[in-house]
Amino acid sequence: QVQLVESGGGLVQPGGSLRLSCAASGSDFSANAMDWYRQVPGKQREWVATISSASSTYYTNSVQGRFTISRDNAKNTGYLQMNSLNAEDTAVYYCHMFAKHDYWGQGTQVTVSS
C-alpha cells in the first residue's frame, strides 16, 4: 500500500513562490514516476508535471518555465517548486504515483491572492 502525503500549500501573493512536497511510503519510490495534478472546484483535475524514475521532467504549457518538479530518492520525497504564481494557479494540488495501481495524496490548497 502506497501512501502519499502532500505539504507546503498556503496563501501567497501574485508573483510569489511556494514549494510543495510529497512524501511517499510503501513503495520503491525511486522506481516510479511521480506526477503533480491540480483541481479547481467544478473543474476536472488537471495534469501539471511529471518526473520519471530517471528524473526526466515534463510540464503542462501553462506552468512551463515557472514550475520545477524534482525528487529526492533518498528521502522518498518529490517536490514542486512554483514561482511567479498567479491567480490561475489557485487550486488543490495532488501528487500521484502509479505503482501497479493509482495512488493519490490528500491534496494541499494553494491560494494566490493579494
Tens digit of each residue's pLDDT (9 = 90 or more) over 71-107? 999 999 999 999 999 999 999 999 999 988 999 999 9
**Cα–Cα dist 22/20, whole Å:** 7
Tens digit of each residue's pLDDT (9 = 90 or more) over 37-53? 999 999 999 999 999 99
What confidence score (pLDDT) does residue 26 get? Answer: 84
Q: Report residue 18 as a C-alpha cell.
A: 511556494
Please report, as a single letter, which amino acid is at residue 91: A
SS3 for the chain is CCEEEEECCEEECCCCCEEEEEEEECCCHHHCCEEEEEECCCCCCEEEEEECCCCCEEECHHHCCCEEEEEEHHHCEEEEEECCCCHHHCEEEEEEEECCCEEECCCEEEEECC
pLDDT (mean) for 60-73:
97
Whether the pLDDT of residue 27 is over 80: the answer is: no
**Cα–Cα dist 90/76, whole Å:** 26
